[in-house]
């Protein structure tokens, strides 16, 4: 019995000591569930790519050595803006200063206008320092050259300065807005033949008191009228007539009345606060009417001429209109004729240089 019991105990001992018995009997040695737990960090694996992407957006810039441009940007940033901001500010500065100066230091449009405005007082002072006869001669002669369309009153104006500049540009002179003595002589020499051919003479209307220029080679006949004076050719092909309306009529009323006179076809008209101009045809004649008002009185000038004479008279209409001064001061006529005399003296001097002092007939008053 004892032997059988010992054998039974040995068999149980062998059975209990086998790996299979141990594997089934001790759950602490079952590592099956542990392996998945170690490999489980799958949720963490899903977030790891995000952790890897974040450095790409921020860290690489810090890790990459700065380029020259980046360094400049950094410096600009430390001074209060990026390099782009600095460039924008510089561009704005250029735009803001464009009106003051153009490329290569040349004045831009606004800068040129400002410079011209600054020079006007100097031009005015220099022009008014000239004798009245010289100032009138400049205006008269520029009207004959086709550059001036203002009034020959001896006064300085922007229109006169522009006319002088146009004349200087066309003749390749230095553009200053003021004629030098040599330039005045050149101008007088150029227009003298036209004045001489027209028999140009400054006169005062005894009825209206206006001052005007008459081409006496064409207008040879003088006729007094109830409210003015007429200078005309013998057959009436040319008529230059003054008129005065002192009934208290307004300038606008006279303007409208002149436009509606019989047989008139108006092609141009302009009404200003103190003057008007009307142009067109009257019957078969070309027509130009100029009117001006002062102190409740309207004075005017009418020019009529046959179309057959337009080749001769058209160039004279401008000078006649410029020379007309309806409310002329007492000294204006004497000064105007003195201006013509001085202009012709300049011509004689210039021609004398070319002819050895020989005087040219036909240039006297």
pLDDT along the chain (365 residues), means of 10: 50 45 39 40 50 48 48 47 57 49 49 58 90 92 94 92 96 95 95 95 93 96 96 97 94 97 96 96 97 94 97 95 88 71 67 54 45
Which domain does 222 fall in, by range?
204-328
In the chain, the number of structural domains is 1
Query: What is the reported pLDDT for 341?
Result: 74
First to last CA, the chain: 181
Query: What is the reported pLDDT for 203?
Result: 93
Query: What is the reported pLDDT for 117?
Result: 55
Is residue 270 one of the residues assigned to a domain?
Answer: yes
Is residue 246 one of the residues assigned to a domain?
Answer: yes
Is residue 19 one of the residues assigned to a domain?
Answer: no
Is residue 55 one of the residues assigned to a domain?
Answer: no
Nearest to 139 by CA among 167, 106, 169, 109: 167
Is residue 47 one of the residues assigned to a domain?
Answer: no
The CATH number of the domain holding residue 233 is: 3.40.1000.10
In angstroms, what CA-CA distances link 343 with 94, 123, 195, 209?
A: 50, 21, 11, 25
Nearest to 241 by CA among 224, 260, 264, 262: 224
Query: What is the reported pLDDT for 58?
Result: 46
Is residue 343 one of the residues assigned to a domain?
Answer: no
Is residue 252 one of the residues assigned to a domain?
Answer: yes
Could you tell me if 187 and 145 are in contact, meaning their C-beta atoms sit under 8 angstroms apart? yes
Strand ranges, E, within the chain:
200-204, 211-215, 221-225, 228-232, 238-245, 264-271, 275-282, 285-294, 297-306
Query: What is the reported pLDDT for 337?
Result: 74
Query: What is the reported pLDDT for 349?
Result: 66
Q: ∠ CA(166), CA(363), CA(135), 5° rounding?
A: 40
Query: What is the reported pLDDT for 338?
Result: 77
Nearest to 302 by CA among 258, 336, 332: 258
Is residue 282 one of the residues assigned to a domain?
Answer: yes
């Amino acid at each position: 019995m004892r032997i059988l019991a010992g054998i039974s105990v040995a068999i149980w001992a062998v059975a209990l000591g086998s790996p299979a018995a141990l594997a089934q009997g001790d759950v602490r040695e079952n590592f099956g569930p542990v392996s998945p737990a170690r490999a489980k960090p799958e949720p963490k694996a899903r977030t790891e790519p995000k952790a890897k992407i974040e450095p790409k957006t921020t860290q690489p810039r810090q890790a990459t050595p700065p380029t020259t441009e980046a360094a400049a940007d950094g410096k600009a940033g430390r001074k209060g803006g990026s390099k782009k901001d600095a460039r924008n500010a510089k561009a704005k500065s250029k735009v803001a200063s464009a009106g003051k100066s153009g490329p290569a230091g040349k004045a831009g449009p606004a800068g040129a206008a400002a410079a011209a405005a600054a020079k006007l007082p100097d031009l005015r002072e220099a022009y008014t320092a000239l004798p009245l006869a010289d100032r009138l001669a400049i205006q008269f002669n520029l009207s004959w050259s086709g550059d001036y369309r203002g009034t020959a009153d001896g006064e300085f104006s922007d229109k006169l300065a522009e006319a002088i500049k146009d004349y200087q540009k066309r003749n390749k002179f230095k553009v200053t807005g003021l004629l030098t003595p040599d330039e005045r002589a050149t101008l007088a020499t150029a227009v003298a033949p036209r004045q001489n051919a027209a028999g140009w003479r400054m006169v005062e209307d005894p009825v209206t008191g206006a001052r005007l220029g008459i081409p006496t080679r064409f207008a040879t006949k003088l006729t007094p009228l109830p409210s003015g004076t007429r200078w005309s050719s013998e057959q009436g092909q040319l008529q230059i007539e003054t008129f005065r309306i002192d009934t208290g009529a307004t300038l606008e009323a006279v303007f409208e009345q002149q436009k509606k006179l019989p047989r008139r076809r108006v092609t141009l008209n302009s009404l200003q606060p103190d003057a008007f101009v009307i142009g067109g045809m009257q019957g078969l004649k070309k027509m130009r009417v100029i009117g001006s008002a002062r102190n409740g009185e309207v004075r005017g000038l009418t020019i009529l001429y046959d179309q057959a004479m337009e080749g001769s008279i058209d160039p004279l209409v401008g000078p006649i209109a410029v020379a007309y001064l309806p409310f002329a001061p007492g000294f204006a006529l004497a000064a105007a004729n003195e201006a013509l005399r001085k202009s012709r003296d300049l011509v004689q001097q210039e021609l004398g240089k070319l002819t050895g002092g020989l005087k040219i007939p036909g240039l006297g008053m």
